[in-house]
């Protein structure tokens, strides 16, 4: 049916629902049972977090993608816990309803479960995050089990795991052929280890559908087809700020064009003396 004819969200809906409190992992589990699809967006500061929160987006991810879209690196690998902590704190302060998930960056959890718990505790205690996300399958199961047993909600991430881009030899679709069965096993193992949700990035749509139907926890797709329980995008991709977005990105705005036009108009007004005018001047 057309969007104008869609029924309004109910109070229990994840997207746009009025709960009067923060969304929790229990709400995500209930949405899975209702077969309700929902959106997730990245956020890196208080102002965009407020906009997305007021738009009804139920989960905000402070992604290690900040390495590229905030700090200007060419991959997610260089970003650190100290880089992401203030961004996470800003997103938490800027939102009032969304569940805020913080990425554990490369090198902050791989060494041991104890290292993972130390890093996760900083995000929860110092930044106010409500959950953390980490990448990988069987190799991080001890970390997931330790975090969950310590009371830290964990979101998993399989498929194209950007922190392993050097091992993959580039950004490539994952899970084709026999590797798809390994991904399926990793997904089930992560669920058993206690993960509350699972991101599937750049995997064949048929595999993502199989994983989604086989798990009781929600799946969140990014380049994984339409069958996952939720979809996530980096907000700069969504809004048209990224010069060459990936195939799976749909651009919903032209913020790069808007910024360019506004900057040029401001600069021309300053150069001509048209700004500031009397209405912008104190007496």
Catalytic residue IDs? 201
d(CA 189, CA 143): 12
Nearest one of 173, 168, 203, 198 to 186, comparing CA atoms: 198
d(CA 17, CA 191): 26
Can you say how many angstroms the Cα of residue 247 is from the centroid of all Cα atoms in its chain? 18
Residue 75 CB burial class (10 angstroms; 0-12, 13-18, ≥19): middle
d(CA 109, CA 112): 6
* SS3 label, residue 61: strand
- What backbone phi and psi angles, to 5 degrees, belong to 16? 75, 0
* SS3 label, residue 216: coil
Dihedral sign, Cα of residue 104, residue 150, residue 196, residue 31: negative
Residue 190 CB burial class (10 angstroms; 0-12, 13-18, ≥19): buried
d(CA 230, CA 219): 6
With tokens 């086989």, the residue in question is: 214
């Amino acid at each position: 049916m057309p969007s104008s004819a869609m029924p309004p969200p109910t109070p229990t809906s994840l997207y746009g629902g009025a709960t009067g409190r923060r969304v929790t992992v229990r709400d995500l589990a209930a949405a899975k049972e209702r077969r309700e699809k929902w959106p997730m967006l990245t956020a890196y500061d208080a102002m965009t977090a407020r906009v997305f929160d007021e738009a009804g987006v139920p989960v905000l991810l402070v992604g290690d993608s900040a390495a590229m879209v905030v700090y200007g690196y060419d991959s997610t690998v260089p970003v650190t816990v100290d880089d992401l902590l203030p961004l996470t704190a800003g997103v938490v302060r800027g939102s009032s309803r969304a569940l805020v998930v913080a990425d554990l960056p490369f090198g902050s959890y791989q060494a041991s479960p104890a290292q993972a718990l130390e890093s996760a505790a900083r995000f929860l205690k110092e930044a106010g995050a409500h959950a953390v996300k980490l990448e990988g399958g069987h190799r991080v199961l001890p970390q997931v089990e330790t975090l969950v047993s310590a009371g830290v909600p964990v979101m998993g991430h399989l498929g194209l795991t950007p922190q392993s881009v050097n091992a993959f030899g580039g950004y490539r679709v994952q899970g084709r052929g026999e590797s798809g069965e390994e991904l399926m096993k990793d997904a089930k193992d992560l669920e058993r280890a206690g993960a509350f949700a699972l991101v599937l990035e750049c995997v064949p749509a048929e595999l993502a559908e199989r994983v989604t139907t086989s798990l009781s926890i929600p799946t969140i797709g990014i380049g994984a087809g339409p069958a996952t329980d939720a979809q996530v995008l980096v907000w700069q991709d969504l809004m048209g700020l990224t010069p060459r977005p990936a195939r799976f990105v749909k651009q919903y705005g032209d913020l790069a064009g808007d910024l360019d036009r506004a900057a040029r108009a401001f600069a021309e007004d300053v150069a001509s003396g048209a700004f500031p005018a009397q209405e912008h001047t104190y007496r």
